[in-house]
Structures are given as structure tokens and as C-alpha cells.
Amino acid sequence: MPARAEISRDEVAHLAELARIDLSDAELDHLAPQLSVILESVASITAVAGDDVPPTSHPIPMTNVFRDDVVRPGLTAEEALSGAPAVEEQRFSVPRILGDEQ
């Protein structure tokens, strides 16, 4: 039996808030059960993963892929800012920040 993976409506509401997605009550009612179904489907994988299959975060068993500490050309400020909706003083202009620095 796959592990039961349920996600509550409250959890979905909390995740939506963390992801800055504005969901209405109707959307939460609709999406929470759907997400539960998706999680259950994914959880069925655990049924076929025996003790001989270790959990992994990367499909290729590689370690220590490093880069030498050598400067490479990047973008000019003009290029970097070319896609920005608003620019001021050669900086990305962003709307007033609610909340706080990390």
C-alpha cells in the first residue's frame, strides 16, 4: 500500500500564501482535493522503491562538479537591465516591498 499523502485545505491555503498566490475560498475547495490526489499518485512510487533504492535528489550519481575561480565575462548593466519593467539609477526598480529582508 502506498503511504497516504493527504494535504489539508488549511495547508494549501498556507502554501498559497507562502507562494504569494491569491486563492479564493472556491479555488481552495476545488484545489485541495486535487492536490491530495496528485500527492497520492506520486506517493505510489514509494511502493516500488525497496530498501535497495536509496532516496536521491539527483538522477546521476555524481559528486564534486566544481568550477575554477576564474572571472568570466557577464552582462553589461544595459543588457542586465534590458528586460526590467522599470529602471532607475542603473538599478532594477521594484514595487514597495512588503515584509522584510531575509
Partner 1 sequence: MSTTELKTFEEALESFDPAMGLEVHVELSTLTKMFCGCPTEFGAEPNTQVCPTCLGLPGAMPAVNAKAVEAAIRIGLALNCEIAEWCRFARKNYFYPDMPKNFQTSQYDEPIAFEGYMDVTVPVEGGEDEIVRVAIERAHMEEDTGKSLHVGGATGRIHGADHSLVDYNRAGIPLIEIVTKPITGMGEKAPAVARAYVAQLRELIIALGVSDARMDQGSIRADVNLSLAPKGAGGLGTRSETKNVNSLRSVERAVRYEMQRHAALLSSGGSVLQETRHWHEDTGITTSGREKSDAEDYRYFPEPDLVPVAPSREWVEELRATLPENPTVKRARLQAEWGFSDLEMRDTVGAGAFGLVEQTIAAGATPTAARKWWLSELARRANEAGVEITALAVTPAEVAAVQGLVDAGTINDKMARQVFDGLLAGEGTPEEIVASRGLALVSDDGALGAAVDNAIAANPDVAQKIRDGKVAAAGALIGSVMKEMRGQADAGRVRELILEKLA
What are the residues binding partner 1 (CB under 8 A)? 18, 20, 57-58, 60, 62-72, 74-77, 80-81, 88-97, 99-102
Shortest Å distance, C-beta 48 to partner 1: 21
CB of 84 to partner 1, least distance (A): 9
Task: For the CB of residue 75, give the shortest distance to partner 1 in the complex, in Å.
Answer: 6
As measured in angstroms, the least distance from the Cβ of 32 to partner 1 is 17
Closest to partner 1 by CB, 24 or 66:
66
> What's the distance, CA 49 to chain centroid?
24
Q: CB-based contacts of 21: which residues, under 8 Å, 6+ apart?
A: none
By C-beta, is 1 or 94 nearer to partner 1?
94
Is the CB of 29 or the CB of 92 nearer to partner 1? 92
- The residues, any chain, with a CB within 8 Å of residue 35's CB and separated by 6 or more, are 7, 12
Cα 6 to Cα 36: distance, rounded to the nearest angstrom: 5
Instruction: State which residue, 24 or 90, has the beta carbon closest to partner 1.
Output: 90
Closest CA to 9 of 42, 31, 40: 31
Kindly state the cell numbers that stand for 63: 559528486
Q: Is 36 helix (H, G, I), strand (E, B) or coil?
A: helix
